[in-house]
Structure 1
Amino acid sequence: MSEGNRTFVTEFVLTGFPGLHPKYEGIVSAVLFFVYFFTVMGNAVIIFLFATDRSLHKPMYYIILNLTVSDILFSTTTLPKIISRYWFQSGTISFTACFVQMYFVHYLGTVNSYILFLMALDRYLSICHPLRYPVIFKNSTILILSVSAWITAKLGPLVVVIRAYPLPYCASNIIKHCYCDHIGITVLACTDRAPYGIPAFGMAMVVLLAPLAFIVFSYCSILKTVLKIANVQGRLKSLSTCSTQLIVILLYYLPRCFIYLASNVGIKFSRDIQIVIIMLYSLCPPMINPLIYCLRAKDIRASFWKKLQRKTTPQKNHSLTS
């Protein structure tokens, strides 16, 4: 096609779930809305508890705070647009806005991976090197590492967006996904995708697998250390201190690794199933994480019940006096 005959894309259309029957769109949009609502509310509760209870100002909870902020931002980046797609039939997104969304999707995914690495490092030092932990892992150290994670995570997604943005998009503008991501956009370019797709895939693998490699090492070391503890009660206590973070890490990594491995060993999914799986591992952990913290993290659970009791006690006293 000659340059003069090309019609370049000025906006994209998000299909959401391509094979979804129209009669189920209301149900799906309601589910997505409640996922977003509970994600924001649950993570906001964690932030509120951290801000109002100084007993939570410990390295482990600073890490959790970073993860809750990232979860809120990721859900806010992705969910409102796809909800409006079903509620208001507003599936179009401008060319530039799509790339902005793509940047934040990959940026916040990278931040999550780095924060989970810090979680594993925290538990590794706490259990395998308990005497050195208070010296190495101070609040100031966590602040530096957290800021570094948020800053260094910018580079990869920025390079990916800068390389993808000027490509000629002159064919279809239909993105078969619930949000803009690198693959969903670049497959629409009227050029060979390999020079752009392969480096982006390699970068994604480094961001995903490098922290995962340390996480596997750290929890193997933790298990080895715990098994050396003679007291059974001591073993259970040590394991319980890292169980919360291990659950969060598994929710993030296992589905992603499954998708990547399945695609490389030849297991094929329909596009609908693939999108459902991607949405599940992208959006369910941010919603479930606050519940896990409140159920499994002793200090957060105690802080939550303390706040709840303070809220209900004045009401009881008022009813008794009246």
Structure 2
Amino acid sequence: MSPLNSNGFINTTIVHPDFFFISGLIGIPHTNYYYIFLGFVYAVTVLGNTFVMFIIYTDHCLHSPKYTVILNLAVSDLCVSTAVIPLLIDTLLFKSHLISFRACLTDMFFVYLFYAMQSLTLTLLSYDRCAAICFPLRYNEIVTNKSMLLILTVIWMLAGSAAVVAATLLSRLSFCKSTVIDSYFCDHEPTYRLACNDNSPSVVIRWTYPVLSLWFPLVFITGTYVCIARALLKIAAVSERLKAMKTCTSHLILVSVFYLPLCFSFALGPSIHQNARIINVSLATVLPPALNPIIYTLKTEEFTESIRKLYRRKKMRTIVRKK
């Protein structure tokens, strides 16, 4: 009996495969249309988030705590899309289902890092909106550039640490059986389930990571909007109440776009077909980064005004050059 397959022996050798096989997209019909769609989504993501970062960087009026967080969201959106979409397109277009062991762990690290950062950044935006509406007179004291940068540093460290732990634990597992990952990328759970030695630490991460990076932030966001709703009810003037609510619409849309597909997948659980689950989860990963800059461009007055100012400056330069 092999010591790697026996519970009575302590593993002394760790076996790592040269490659993993990404099988989640095999058997899904019309995948050629899917990679064309993904290419379009990635182009929109890169252009939109780069534009958001450019506007925030160039307009000093947007050098505020709120837009520091939005800049962080744009960076996270761009990075998570870069970690997921090119690999997906390569798999679909060139049928390249093999990925090396180290590349798999690296890809997993970046996807988990930036996905957690998206969720935590949305949480930080809800904190900003709650402070602005519930404590309008003390907002500038509560929410400062220094405090936001400190919080962002902490959540980057937390998200990075969780991603490092998840990848490191997998590197200590032996894979002496199947190397076929039933997902659209090197997902943590389908990968550690392939191990033939003790994977209980990875099981702990599998349960704690979603709680800390997804469900706890969602509960926090819900709590902040309960506080916001109570504060709005205390505003007597309907026009002022609507004005305050309007400042939250873009964030609420971002939260809905990010969390609803995930909640839908978890609610259906095993009842959803495997192909449908993979398509739904992959769309939940790649669509929010493309939609977020569009939502903020259309729904945020300060951002819209910055775009108008940029356009007017460009128009004036053109007129001056013609003269």
Q: Distance in 1 between matches of 2:205 and 2:86?
A: 30
SS of match in other structure, 2:21 = strand
Q: Report whether the alignment pairs 1:204 with 2:210.
A: yes
Select 1:273's aligned residue among 247, 260, 276.
276
Which deviates the most, 189-198 or 51-60?
189-198
Q: Report whether the alignment pairs 1:190 with 2:193.
A: no
Q: Report whether the alignment pairs 1:114 with 2:116.
A: no
Q: Distance in 2 between matches of 1:8 and 1:111?
A: 29
Cα distance, 1:258 vs. partner?
2.8
Q: How many residues align?
A: 315
Cα distance, 1:84 vs. partner?
1.3
SS of match in other structure, 2:48 = helix
Q: Distance in 1 between matches of 2:57 and 2:237?
A: 37
Q: Distance in 2 between matches of 1:207 and 1:113?
A: 6
Deviations 1:52-110 (CA, angstroms, capped at 9, x unpaired): 10011111111110010001110111111111122233222110110111111111122
CA contact (8 A) 1:74 1:108 kept: yes
**Letter in structure 2 aligned against 1:230:** A
Which deviates the most, 83-92 or 3-12?
3-12
Select 1:9's aligned residue among 3, 17, 21.
17
Select 1:69's aligned residue among 64, 75, 79.
75
Q: Distance in 2 between matches of 1:29 and 1:16?
A: 14
CA contact (8 A) 1:8 1:171 kept: no
**Letter in structure 2 aligned against 1:285:** P
Q: Report whether the alignment pairs 1:284 with 2:287.
A: yes
Which deviates the most, 274-283 or 248-257?
248-257
Q: Report whether the alignment pairs 1:216 with 2:219.
A: no
Q: Distance in 2 between matches of 1:254 and 1:25?
A: 24
Select 2:266's aligned residue among 260, 267, 274.
260
Corresponding residue for residue 296 of structure 2 = 293
Query: What TM-score comes out, normalization by structure 2 length?
Result: 0.90
CA contact (8 A) 1:103 1:161 kept: yes
Which deviates the most, 170-179 or 224-233?
170-179
Q: Distance in 1 between matches of 2:295 and 2:239?
A: 22
Which deviates the most, 64-73 or 78-87?
78-87
% identity of equivalent residues: 34
Which deviates the most, 177-186 or 290-299?
177-186
Deviations 1:188-229 (CA, angstroms, capped at 9, x unpaired): 222465552244212321322222222111101101111221
Q: Any stretches of 5+ residues in structure 1 without a counterpart?
A: none
Coordinate RMSD, CA, aligned: 2.3
CA contact (8 A) 1:16 1:85 kept: no
SS of match in other structure, 2:196 = coil
Cα distance, 1:243 vs. partner?
1.2
Q: Report whether the alignment pairs 1:172 with 2:178.
A: yes
CA contact (8 A) 1:244 1:296 kept: yes
**Letter in structure 2 aligned against 1:145:** I
CA contact (8 A) 2:4 2:196 kept: no
Corresponding residue for residue 156 of structure 2 = 150
Select 1:43's aligned residue among 22, 27, 49.
49
Corresponding residue for residue 305 of structure 1 = 308
Distance 1:169 1:4, change over 3 A: closer
Which deviates the most, 95-104 or 26-35?
26-35
Distance 1:248 1:140, change over 3 A: same
Query: What TM-score comes out, normalization by structure 1 length?
Result: 0.90
Deviations 1:17-50 (CA, angstroms, capped at 9, x unpaired): 22223xx333221111111111011000000001
Q: Distance in 2 between matches of 1:4 and 1:105?
A: 30
Cα distance, 1:272 vs. partner?
0.6
Distance 1:223 1:231, change over 3 A: same
Cα distance, 1:184 vs. partner?
2.4
CA contact (8 A) 1:63 1:118 kept: yes
CA contact (8 A) 2:169 2:201 kept: no
Deviations 1:155-202 (CA, angstroms, capped at 9, x unpaired): 222212211222111222222322111012112222465552244212
Select 2:110's aligned residue among 104, 107, 125.
104
Q: Distance in 1 between matches of 2:192 and 2:31?
A: 27
Cα distance, 1:242 vs. partner?
1.2
